[in-house]
């Protein structure tokens, strides 16, 4: 940078560009549901419980993602073919005994973030059965 | 983050199963915020260039002692002994809880303390208060106790058999950081390290440290080769406080990093810090697919599930370290093309300190929320029930973690702000150092286009990792 005027010019342009960028980008995506990942197959924000099948202590079809928006009512039904100790939702710290099937989980999504839902097996081990995503 | 779930729960192709210590994971930074953050980084960088000063301002510390009373209060033999006792006490609790406490990592003092309060908390304390770890370092305290005892009994100082080779520089600490994070993320083969693992690791590290202190001298090893002293000491340079002898002093803002010794391994230490944080973030995000693919190939070859996890993740940890180092090396090579450059190796060491703010920004971005949650645990049920056996030493055992303490939006803003601020400070340090290295301002400015590119790359990489986190 050679002259003071040139320096100030660049600085001014930079500040204006920053402000414009912020306004443009922010107003465009205020309703964004949280990222380039978007929704995954197997998610629901509609009424009707999402079913998670657990077979011999493992999730059928792998760990599925269930997505909600903050303030929604989370509605899950865990179906097990063998009795286990409990179902545990991390973060919300919700635990329900899993001796009988199905285990119904219904609670308001007050916390946003990503929370693991686990089955605690009768042998003391744990396995993740679903991933709860609550978008802000 | 520290993983959990038994090895048997690893379902191909799931690489890492439940994370016991992470009750609430951060949502990935949304696309618009990532784009805005990256754009801001670029704009801010060019703005800085336009106001770039022409005389080095941050190369001298102008260290001034604080008022005598404060200095004496902070640095007297009594506080030294008390701090040493606290450090050794915590060290003993980690060992005891590790060997005798509950195996559940979420309920055991050793896991929460070592991987959160110690590893992350001390970085924060070091930046704010200076090299406080020096006072609390249990290995140093025990080493000094032994050498003091020797002096008392033998009437002379214990002989120091070996001289610390200058060429070794900070490389032992680089290895130490890699192994620590390996223990945290990979050793248990897909599960969380157990308290027992942590206790064993602590014993092994202690044995190595004591042997090295015996060979090179207690203070010499602490000053040059001990992992945690080097690691926390690196971040302590960012802060305003520094103790010299028996005096506590304050230095001019941001002059600390320039005085960080440019020894062999200095660049590697700050790069490994960036790399291990990146790897932790990428393990569940940007690299999860690649790691899973490697994991499956290992399993195909015949490795067991836990070993496949170990091999695959170790490979990718080293690849990330290599990639981060390559990026810096390219920047240094680029700088070297400018007239008046010192040799590449010297140049690389001269600018290593400029990445310290970026390493700190990476730590804040990746661990800020988890740190807030786990410190609640640390001071409630972990404090009162360190072994997980049902005690209530301080009456806080009933408390728990309030995960709602910070919203996702707040976390995102902190993450992006940390990376942008780290970037700005890094650029400032690099520009100032260039003015010291190059005779002509024109050459200094030219060299900084390369460092700018490196830092923009690091910062945008950091943002990218966040946008892919837990994706």
The Cα B415–Cα B128 span in angstroms is 19
Please report, for chain A, the start and end positions of each structural domain, with discontinuous segments joined by +.
Answer: 1-30, 50-135
pLDDT by residue (tens digit) across B63-106? 999 998 889 888 999 999 999 999 999 999 999 999 999 999 99
Is the sign of the CA dihedral B403, B405, B409, B410 positive or negative? Answer: negative
**SS3 string of B48-59?**
HHHCCCCCCCCC
Instruction: Check residue B83 and report its DSSP letter.
Output: H
Q: Which of A45-59, B278-292, B384-398 has the lowest mean pLDDT?
A: A45-59
- Give a yes or no: residue B400 inside a domain: yes
- Give a yes or no: residue B2 inside a domain: no
Q: Which of A2-6, B212-216, B429-433 has the lowest mean pLDDT?
A: A2-6
pLDDT by residue (tens digit) across A66-108? 999 999 999 999 999 999 999 999 999 999 999 998 999 999 9
pLDDT by residue (tens digit) across A120-129? 999 888 889 9
pLDDT by residue (tens digit) across B244-290? 988 999 999 999 999 998 999 999 999 999 999 999 999 988 999 99
- Give a yes or no: residue B41 inside a domain: yes
- Give a yes or no: residue B270 inside a domain: yes
Q: Looking up tokens 């992350």, which residue turns up?
A: B120
* A43 pLDDT above the threshold of 50: no
Q: What's the domain range around B438?
A: 7-467
Cβ–Cβ < 8 Å for B256, B235: no
pLDDT > 70: percent of chain B: 96
Cβ–Cβ < 8 Å for B384, B393: yes
Report how many domains make up chain B.
Answer: 1
Percent helix, strand, coil in chain A, to 5, is 20, 40, 40
* Beta-bridge partner residues of B244: B247
The Cα B163–Cα B167 span in angstroms is 11
pLDDT by residue (tens digit) across B120-143? 999 999 999 999 999 999 999 999
Question: What pLDDT is attached to residue B229?
Answer: 98
Cβ–Cβ < 8 Å for A67, A40: yes
Cβ–Cβ < 8 Å for A45, A135: no
- Give a yes or no: residue B21 inside a domain: yes
Question: What pLDDT is attached to residue A16?
Answer: 75
Give the DSSP H/E element, type plus range, for residue B154.
helix B138-154
Q: What's the whole-model pTM score?
A: 0.90
Please, what CATH class does the domain formed by A50-135 belong to?
mainly beta
Q: Chain A: nearest CA to B4, how far in angstroms?
A: 9
* A37 pLDDT above the threshold of 70: no
pLDDT by residue (tens digit) across B24-45? 999 999 988 998 899 889 888 8
> B410 touching A, CB under 8 A?
no
* A25 pLDDT above the threshold of 60: no
Q: Chain A: nearest CA to B185, how far in angstroms?
A: 18
* A136 pLDDT above the threshold of 60: yes
* A36 pLDDT above the threshold of 70: no
The Cα B288–Cα B183 span in angstroms is 19
- Give a yes or no: residue B1 inside a domain: no
- Give a yes or no: residue B34 inside a domain: yes
The Cα B352–Cα A122 span in angstroms is 52
- Give a yes or no: residue B459 inside a domain: yes
Q: Chain A: nearest CA to B468, how far in angstroms?
A: 8
| The two structure tokens encoding residue A93 | 């710290």
Question: What pLDDT is attached to residue A24?
Answer: 62
Question: What pLDDT is attached to residue B7?
Answer: 38
> B403 touching A, CB under 8 A?
yes
Mutate to test the interface with A, among B4, B22, B37, B47 (most CBs of A within 10 A): B47
């Amino acid at each position: 940078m050679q002259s003071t005027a040139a320096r100030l010019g660049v600085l001014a342009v930079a500040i204006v560009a920053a402000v414009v960028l912020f306004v443009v980008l922010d107003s465009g995506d205020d309703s964004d549901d949280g990222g380039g990942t978007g929704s995954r197959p197997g998610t629901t924000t509609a009424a009707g419980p999402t079913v998670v099948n657990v077979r011999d202590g493992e999730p059928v079809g792998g760990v599925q993602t269930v997505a909600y928006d903050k303030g929604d009512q989370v509605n899950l039904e865990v179906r097990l073919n063998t009795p286990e100790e409990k179902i545990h939702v991390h973060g919300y710290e919700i635990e329900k005994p899993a001796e009988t099937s199905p285990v119904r989980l219904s609670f308001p999504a007050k916390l946003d973030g990503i929370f693991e839902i686990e089955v605690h097996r009768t042998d003391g081990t744990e396995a993740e059965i679903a991933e709860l995503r609550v978008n802000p | 983050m520290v993983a959990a779930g038994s090895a048997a729960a690893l379902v191909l192709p799931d690489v890492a199963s439940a994370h016991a210590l992470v009750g609430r994971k951060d949502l990935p930074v949304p696309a618009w915020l990532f784009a805005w953050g990256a754009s801001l980084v670029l704009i801010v960088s060019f703005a800085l260039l336009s106001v770039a000063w022409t005389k080095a301002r941050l190369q001298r510390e102008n260290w001034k002692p604080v008022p005598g009373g404060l200095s004496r209060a902070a640095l007297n033999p009594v506080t030294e002994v008390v701090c040493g006792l606290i450090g050794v006490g915590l060290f003993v609790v980690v060992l005891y809880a590790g060997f005798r406490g509950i195996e559940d990592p979420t309920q055991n003092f050793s896991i929460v303390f070592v991987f959160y309060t110690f590893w992350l908390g001390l970085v924060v304390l070091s930046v704010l208060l200076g090299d406080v770890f020096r006072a609390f370092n249990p290995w140093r305290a025990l080493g000094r106790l032994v050498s003091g005892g020797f002096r008392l009994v033998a009437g002379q100082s214990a002989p120091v058999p070996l001289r610390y080779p200058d060429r070794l520089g900070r490389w032992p600490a680089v290895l130490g950081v890699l192994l620590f994070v390996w223990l945290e993320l990979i050793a248990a083969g897909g599960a969380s390290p157990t308290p027992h693992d942590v206790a064993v690791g602590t014993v092994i590290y202690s044995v190595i440290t004591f042997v090295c202190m015996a060979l090179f001298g207690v203070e010499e090893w602490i000053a040059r080769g001990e992992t945690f002293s080097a690691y926390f000491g690196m971040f302590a340079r960012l802060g305003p406080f520094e103790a010299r002898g028996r005096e506590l002093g304050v230095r001019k803002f941001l002059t600390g990093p320039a005085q960080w010794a440019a020894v062999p391994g200095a660049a590697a230490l700050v790069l490994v810090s960036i790399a291990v944080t990146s790897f932790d973030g990428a393990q569940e995000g940007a690299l999860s697919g690649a790691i899973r693919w490697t994991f499956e190939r290992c399993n195909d070859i015949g490795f067991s599930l836990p070993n496949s996890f170990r091999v695959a993740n170790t490979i990718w940890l080293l690849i990330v370290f290599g990639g981060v180092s390559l990026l810096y090396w390219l920047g240094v090579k680029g700088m070297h093309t400018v007239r008046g450059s010192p040799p590449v190796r010297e140049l690389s060491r001269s600018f290593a300190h400029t990445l310290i703010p970026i390493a700190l920004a990476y730590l804040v971005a990746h661990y800020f929320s988890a740190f807030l949650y786990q410190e609640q645990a640390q001071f409630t049920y972990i404090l009162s029930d360190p072994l997980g056996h049902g005690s209530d030493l301080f009456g806080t055992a009933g408390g728990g973690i309030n995960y709602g303490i910070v919203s996702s939006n707040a976390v995102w803003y902190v993450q992006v702000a940390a990376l942008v601020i780290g970037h700005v400070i890094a650029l400032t340090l690099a520009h100032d150092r260039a003015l010291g290295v190059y005779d002509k301002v024109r050459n200094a400015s030219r060299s900084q286009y390369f460092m700018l590119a490196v830092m923009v790359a690091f910062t945008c990489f950091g943002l990218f990792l966040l946008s892919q986190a837990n994706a």
